[in-house]
Amino acid sequence: MLPELFFGYFAAVIILLSVIVITRRNPVHSVMWMLLLFFHIAGLYLFLNAEFIAAIQVIVYAGAILVLFLFVLLLLNLREELKVKRFVGAWPAGLFITTAILVIVLGAVKSFVPGPAGKYSIEFIKQETHTKALGKLLYTDYLFPFEIASLVLLVAIIGAIVLAKRKTRSK
Amino acid sequence: MSDILNILITEETLNMLMKIGIIFLKIAVVLGITLLHVAYATYWERKVIGHMQVRLGPIEVGWHGFLQPIADGVKLFFKEDIIPANADKPLFYLAPVIFMVSALTSLSVLPFFDGFVIADINIGLLFLFAMSSLGAYGIILSGWASNSKYSFLGGLRSASQVISYEIAMGLSLVGVMMMAGSLNLSDIVRAQHQYPTGMFAIPQFLGFFVFIVAAFAETNRLPFDLPEAESELVAGYFTEYSGFRFALFFLGEYTAMLIMSSIAALCFLGGWTIPKFITDAMPLLMNVPGIVWFLIKVYAFMFFYYWVRATLPRYRYDQLMAIGWKILIPLALFNIVLTGTLRTMGVL
Amino acid sequence: MVPLNWYLMLSAVVFMIGVFGFLTRRNIIIMFMSIELMLNAVNISLVAFSHYLQDMRGQILVIFIITVAAAEAAIGLAIIIALFRNKDTVHVDEMNEMKG
Amino acid sequence: MSNYLLIPFLPLAAFLINILFGRKYLKENSHWVSILAVAGSWIVTVATLFDVLAGRVINEDLYSWIVSGEFKVSVGFLIDQLTAVMLIVVTTCSTLIHIYSVGYMHGDKGYYRFFAYLSLFTFCMLMLVMANNFLQLYFGWEGVGLCSYFLIGYYFDKKSASDAGKKAFIVNRFGDFGFGLGIIMIFLTFGTIYYEPVFSQAKGFASQTINFLGYDVHLMTLIALLLFCGSIGKSAQMPLHVWLPDAMEGPTPVSALIHAATMVTAGVFLVARCSPIFSLSETALMIVALTGAITSLFAATIGLVQNDIKRIIAYSTISQLGYMFLAAGVGAYTAGMFHLYTHAFFKALLFLCAGSVMHAMSGELDLQKMGGLKKYMPVTYWTMLFASLSIAGVPGFAGFFSKDEILWLAYSGSSPVGKFVWVIGTVVAFLTAFYSFRLIFLTFHGKFRGTHEQEHHLHESPKAMTIPLVILCIGAVASGWVGIPHLLGGGAHFTEFLKPVLGHPEAHGTHAEEWMVMAISIIAGFSGIGLAALFYLVKTDIPVMLTQKFNAAYKILWNKYYVDELYSFIIVRPAIWTAKNILIGITDARIIEAVVNGVPKGIGEFSRILRKVQTGLLQHYAAIMALGVLIIVAMMLLR
């Protein structure tokens, strides 16, 4: 009973916050609602015994990505944003497409059959601690993708600097 | 009615309620003690700096001005709460709360002495990072929502400063994590107790150095108090705040200092333990409760904060960023590589 | 025990809200946030799968998704800044230079 | 022994270096690269010649070039006696002419380009003669043709030069078309295009016929004649000779190297190389002999009246090439090769001397404006005199031995047309002596007839030019001595050397007859010289009187039998008319233009409709993508 309630609360809040995030007129408010949304998602991760993921959800998403959004919003002057239309003219079409896909996907979820369970049972993770289990896997089987991810980040750093740097006028 | 109650109130739920009650009690105790400490931290700061500058500091209210913090609190509480007309009101209200809450929440994972911690979670250190990164929101929002030049510039400066030094701080603690093999703060303290030197500050002296500098910058303290450089920005991001909301920022800052001191004590100075070689030499010290050692270490670190404030001049903004990105982060990375290498070689 | 399907449905709903936001909002930053929303929706389902199938791979994937999301946000926001400098707008429907 | 590879590839390297770095870096030093390369080739060639003299023959593949089903070709090299002779001729002439060019081309703006092309030409020519299969031969064949085109049109800003280049290229197409067909026929017949298997199997096909357009054609005759088509084009025989006189528009060293000593003799080399095939067909040999004889006579008669110094030598070249074909046609391949070999020296020398004269005369070519140059340029005079003595067949000089051998073998050989071509050959010998000395007398003797300014400018050429002249002069005098016939107490070494490859025809004649033939040819030569001396030294009014008396004949000769006009009437003008009226007017304007303009117009219209889809709005694309997802998911669900 309690887990269901718990989940119900989180799910309801997450959905509500998602809607709020995409409908706010003021992007800064959107960001703040999104911050709250990320905390709830992190809570959901804790509920799913993924404490490390929950932590990086907060650190990376809330602590880095959203702050970046906020920074960009502050750098851009968006005063007139509060006076203009929020949605494109054809938003009902978007709503229709989205609802149609949603209905079909929700229909499809019913027929989902889970595959066989792996070795990472709740007890196993508890005993080993979640971070350690994840780290062992990440640095052995997934070492190569991990290295690629680091390269992606490097490219992103350099790319962001190059893109956002104000062009110095060449003589 | 009673049927429903019977269903709800079972052995299990009672147990759970008990646990929740204990947690609330712990929270109350920690909050009370911390806030008291924060209040007197301001008093001690004025006193220490006063004496360092050969003056007396607060002296009128109570014995040697001992009641000064209380008087200050009362004054702030009853001051008029001014809100700028063009401010974004919801965010203006929210900003100091976020700032304060993010500071206070960090307290929940700090073990004050063996076994006394509100939430003994496995990722305690990560939780601290997460919360400290949240503080940036309070700063940015207060700067933006005030709709004032000084606030806005102060907010931007502070946010970029906090974000930049967060990386250095996080990296400086990676060495500790590698030494202890855990992210749980209690485990880290226990690991230090097992370690021959008794505290990680000795093998991790590089990390400790980076951590100290980053901690000063994280809490916007001198010599890195650029966001609130009076001569340039009036009071920085909280220029427009007054009264109770100002008090929240003020408290938040000192809470953050206290937390930084605690982290330093826990991760580098051995927390509530003292090195084994000392207890071996003087077995009598075994009887001293851990909280005492812990508080001594925290106070020492706080004193260091005051000392630096009284001694060092303020850096320029570009120097600040240069120190963060070009010195501290490479140093921390080098420390990680060094620690890893030495660990695999079995030296550390 | 909460069934796995609930998580999947939650994930689908959040994802579709993100899609809707992406399709209909004019502000490019909100569109970006919609993308983050979609990524988070996927993360929810991945962590749920990971938990229910007792397999860590889902969470590994989440780590990579967060990495890519961070990279994407950095690059995307840099592009937005460059765009704003040139066009002085963040409204997507005012940017149709690529019109055929 | 494998250093023989250096022979062709040194010049290739020189070409690459010059063409890549010549313009910017080497500039006036370009010649060093080319000369060193070709001199290196010459040294290796001499070494190789000694190997061949010692009896070693190389025939090996370097690497696989084309493999397509049954058709396999390698880049391969065959170095036998025949190749060795050609190698010596090519590298020697090439080296000397490279050196000569340093002086001749001095200060030209395309200096590096000139040497690059010369090196490329040398490379192609060497690949041609060293090939061990027909395709590589063809590669070299076309390569030298290309270089010839480049170098004839070297002064491309002069219209006559670029026209001459085009003419050479186009006329050669006719011959090469036949040559290509011949190679295809060889592949169809033998299933391979390597020399060795082809020649060894050729006997087996001797009597085979092939049905062609309803006629039974003797297979070997067909192949031989198709190959001979190529020879006609490249060696400027009737009726494809028209390009060679015009080719004199190129720089004189080019005329000497390409259009006298080496490239044009490739046709003779081809006939000699394919002698096993030609020998199997009496008809083909007869045609070769008659073509050679008639061309020889024809060109010699034209040469009598021309006034352009280089053109006279050009016609002389055509005539002498005809002589070589005449020899090949009567089965005396060795004699043909011998003449090729001696001719290379004295003809190259003649051209270089002409170039030297031109150099002194500031580019003047007209004999009428020269005269009395002897005292100004003694080296040129003496060398050119020796060359002329050689070509006129004066005993003791190189040309005498080779010409005499040809005439003797024509007379005594078993060819049905042998006596006929002997008569023509003797007449040509007389004519050759006449026009050669007409050239000498008009140029070097008498009084100077040019402008005063030209006279003032007259001087001997620089050392870089005269030294090659002297060396070539030695060749023009002495090169024949390796082939002194048995009759005169010599060893006929040249013939003996080539016998393993080319064989040697039986001579059906007595010593008396041989003496007789030799005497007649000597008389013909001396009477030609004497007549020329009479006409142009003693009684200079006779030629004028003759031209007036036989005006019609003179006109025909002066206009080169109107061959160019005939071609212009039969081929050029109809072709231009067709191009103008049908190809441009109808095909191009109505059909191709319609298609070319219509297709893009249609695409443009279609795109105009299609691009409506490209709104440039991000969200439209996203919406369409989402719609696609919707459709795919729906399809998967409903499946």
Confidence of residue B228 (pLDDT cuts 50, 70, 90): low
**How many CA atoms are closer than 13 Å to the CA of A145, on its beta-carbon side?**
14
The predicted pLDDT at position B108 comes to 84
Residue type at D216 in one-letter notation? D
Is D66's Cβ below 8 Å from some Cβ in C? no
Rounded CA separation B32/B19 (Å):
20
Whether D623 and A97 lie within 8 Å, measured CB to CB = yes
Return residues 32-71 of B near A (CB < 8 Å): none
DSSP C25: B
Judged by CB atoms closer than 8 Å, whether chains meet at B137 and A28 is answered as no
- Sketch the domain layout of chain A as residue ranges: 1-83, 117-171
Rounded Cα gap, residues D639 and D634, in angstroms: 8
Q: List the single residue in A with minimal CA-CA distance to D636.
A: A108
CA distance linking residue D124 with residue D144, whole number of Å: 6
Going by pLDDT thresholds of 50, 70 and 90, the confidence category of residue A15 is very high
Q: Of the given ranges (A64-68, D188-192, D456-460), which has the lowest mean pLDDT?
A: D456-460
Binary contact (B129, A32; C-beta < 8 A): no
**Burial class of residue B26 (count of CB atoms within 10 Å of its CB; 0-12, 13-18, 19+):** middle
A146 to chain D, closest Cα gap in Å: 30
What is the mean predicted confidence (pLDDT) over B21-41?
84
What is the predicted pLDDT for the residue at D335? 84
Per-residue pLDDT band for B5 (boundaries 50, 70, 90) equals low
Which tops the pLDDT comparison, A162 or D206?
A162
Q: Give me the total of CB pairs closer than 8 Å, taking one residue from chain C and one from chain D.
A: 34
Q: What six digits make up the tokens of B296?
A: 């001594």
pLDDT at position C40 is 92
* Digit-coded pLDDT (tens) for C8-58: 889 999 999 999 999 888 888 888 889 999 999 999 999 988 888 888 888
The whole-number pLDDT of residue C38 equals 92
Which of chain A's residues have a Cβ under 8 Å away from the Cβ of D623? 90, 93-94, 97
Q: Quick one: pLDDT at residue D247?
A: 82
Average pLDDT over chain B, rounded to an integer: 82
CB contacts, 8 Å: C99 with chain D = 614-617
pLDDT of residue B1: 52
Residues D257-276 have pLDDT tens digits of 888 778 888 888 888 888 88
The alpha-carbon gap from A89 to the nearest alpha carbon of chain B, in Å, equals: 29
Which residue from D264, D185, D259 is spatially nearest to D227, judged by alpha carbons? D185
Q: Quick check: A23 pLDDT over 90?
A: no
Nearest by Cα to D176 from D99, D240, D124, D131: D240
Q: What is the pLDDT of residues B302-345, one digit of tens each?
A: 888 888 888 888 888 888 888 888 889 999 999 999 988 888 88
Which pLDDT score is estimated for D481?
83
Q: How many Cβ atoms from other residues are within 10 Å of residue B261's Cβ? A: 23
Mean pLDDT of chain D: 84
pLDDT of residue D195 exceeding 90, the answer is no
Report helix, strand or coil for B208: helix
Mean pLDDT, to the nearest integer, of D215-236?
85
pLDDT digit string, tens, across residues D482-492: 878 777 776 77
Beta-carbon contacts of B253 under 8 Å, excluding residues fewer than 6 positions away, are: B219, B220
Residue D595: φ, ψ to 5°? -70, -45
D500 or D91, higher pLDDT: D91
- Main-chain dihedrals φ then ψ at residue D377, nearest 5 degrees: -135, 80
Q: What percent of chain D has pLDDT over 90?
A: 1
User: What are B45-81's pLDDT values in tens digits?
Assistant: 888 888 888 888 787 777 877 888 888 878 877 887 7
What's the average model confidence in pLDDT over D55-63? 82
**pLDDT number for residue B177:** 87
Query: Measured between CA atoms, how close is B231 to chain A, in angstroms?
Result: 24
The string of pLDDT tens digits covering residues A136-162 is: 888 888 888 889 999 988 998 888 888
pLDDT at D288: 87
Chain C CB contacts of D619 below 8 Å: 22-24, 92-93
What part of D 572-631 touches A (C-beta under 8 Å)? Answer: 619, 623, 626-627, 629-630
CA-closest candidate to residue A57, choices D256, D351, C62, D580:
C62
Question: Are A22 and C37 in contact, with CB atoms under 8 Å apart?
Answer: yes
Whether residues B91 and A131 touch (CB distance < 8 A) is answered with no
Pairwise CB contact (< 8 Å): D617 & C92: yes
Q: How confident is the model at residue B7 (pLDDT cuts 50, 70, 90)?
A: low
For residue D356, what pLDDT band results from cuts at 50, 70 and 90? confident
D303-306 — which CB contacts under 8 Å span 24+ positions? D303/D431, D303/D435, D304/D431, D304/D434, D304/D435, D304/D438, D304/D557, D305/D547, D305/D554, D305/D557, D305/D558, D306/D558
Question: Which of B:121-180 have CB within 8 Å of A?
Answer: 121-123, 126-127, 129-130, 133-134, 136-137, 140-141, 144, 152, 155-156, 159-160, 163, 166
Q: Is the pLDDT of residue A170 over 60?
A: no
Average per-residue pLDDT for chain A: 84
- What does the pLDDT read at residue B232? 67
Q: Which member of A56, A62, A131 has the closest CB to residue B122? A: A131
C19 interface with D at CB cutoff 8 Å? yes
In whole angstroms, what is the distance from residue A149 CA to residue C68 CA? 7
pLDDT in tens, D377-414: 888 888 888 888 888 888 878 888 888 888 888 888 77
Q: Which of C34, C38, C99 to mutate to test the interface with D (most CBs of D within 10 A)?
A: C99
Indicate the CATH number of A1-83 among 1.20.120.1200, 1.10.3720.10, 1.10.260.40, 3.90.950.10. Answer: 1.20.120.1200
The answer for C25, left when phi > 0, alpha when psi is -120 to 50, beta otherwise, is beta
Q: Is the confidence at residue C100, as pLDDT, over 70? A: no
Confidence of residue B9 (pLDDT cuts 50, 70, 90): low
ipTM of the complex: 0.75
- Residue D132 vs residues A52, B234, D65: alpha-carbon distances, Å: 77, 95, 13
What's the rounded mean pLDDT across residues D91-105? 86
Contacts of D555 (CB under 8 A, 6+ apart): none
pLDDT attached to residue A13: 92
Tens digits of residue pLDDT in D514-570? 888 888 888 888 888 888 888 887 777 777 787 788 888 778 777 777 888 888 888
| Across A40-54, B227-241, D385-399, D558-572, least confident range | B227-241
CB contact under 8 A, B133 and A67: yes
**pLDDT, tens digit, for every residue of B261-280?**
988 888 888 888 888 888 88
Output C68 or D371, whichever has higher pLDDT.
Answer: C68
Average pLDDT, integer, range D119-143: 89
